[in-house]
Structure 1
Amino acid sequence: MDNSPPPPSNESPPPQPPPPQATHTGSPTDFLKGVVGKRVIVRLTSGVDYRGLLSCLDGYMNIALEQTEEHVNGVVTNRYGDAFIRGNNVLYISAAEPI
């Protein structure tokens, strides 16, 4: 039995996984307070997106947007000055720009 090390290989080592992405340690409440007055994307349970300036929201996730655009399948279908969205229709709120 030969105990010598194997001959060097011309194969490159397997690729390393990417480093983990930074995670935010703030609470959802901190996020929502941070995006008031900024552009957001609101996705409804129906799949329709509303994009605009988050004017205010309450504990029920009722939302008031200004300069609002309605997007269906990525296409702008309507523009509104102000829009009020009832919270039970909201799937999520996302910052439209990095915060």
Structure 2
Amino acid sequence: MPEMIFRVRWPDGTESDCYSPSLVIRDHLQPDMDYSLADFLARAETALTEASARVRARYGFPCSRALGQLRSLRETCGRFAAPEDSRVRVLSFH
């Protein structure tokens, strides 16, 4: 199953590499796009849950790394005080 790393820039200017076990992330996020924190998190949750389900269908167990990435994204999004004004930029896929 092809995996993908997507790089994001958080509202405070820091950047992170994020993991997806599937290319399905491309169906939910686009490079060079800004998303509100809530929209970004909803899209990432949908994509990573779907990716983990694909792993489950193929190998018989969910992708713990995708679920861990989702947990990390939730924690990071929770650090920002004004989520409605904060933007996350998807920088690239690789």
> TM-score, with normalisation over the residues of structure 1?
0.32
Q: Going by fraction, where is strand more abundant, 1 or 2?
A: 1
Q: Going by fraction, where is helix more abundant, 1 or 2?
A: 2
Highest CA radius of gyration, 1 or 2? 1
The higher relative CO (CA closer than 8 Å, separation ≥ 6) is in 2
